[in-house]
Structure 1
Amino acid sequence: MMRTLFFSDDIDVLASALFAWCAERSIRLQSQEGLSAANVAINLYDAGYQTQDRLLGALHDHEFR
């Protein structure tokens, strides 16, 4: 498992997109679904979705099971 070093700006983008995604769905971040979305968001961020809009769009397009 590769770990990425995140800086303050990275965390801001990740948190903003994730909080928006969870709020749209009335999901608590600490729930299993919220934690799963956080994991997906980190992977998407690492894959190049590094703005809030792009990351939120990618989260919308991702199929959660």
Structure 2
Amino acid sequence: MFSIIALSSYSLITRNVDYSSYTLFLLGAFVLFVGIEKLRNDRKVRGYVCILVALFVLLVSLQGFSN
């Protein structure tokens, strides 16, 4: 979690968007783990929504790596 905040803060302060793909990838991984934890705690709908959002964010970050 700290790495997401650090990369985002760095990008905001320096106005450098070179690391935005890394930030999105870490955010997607974090949301994926949150979704898995929600599924384990019997919060099925929130878990599935988090996993769908995580997959979308990971897809967008992978497209950013390819550019």
| TM-score bin, normalised by smaller chain | 0.3 to 0.5
Give the structure-1-normalised TM-score.
0.33
Give the structure-2-normalised TM-score.
0.32
Structure whose CA Rg is larger: 2
Q: Which has more helix, going by share of residues? A: 2
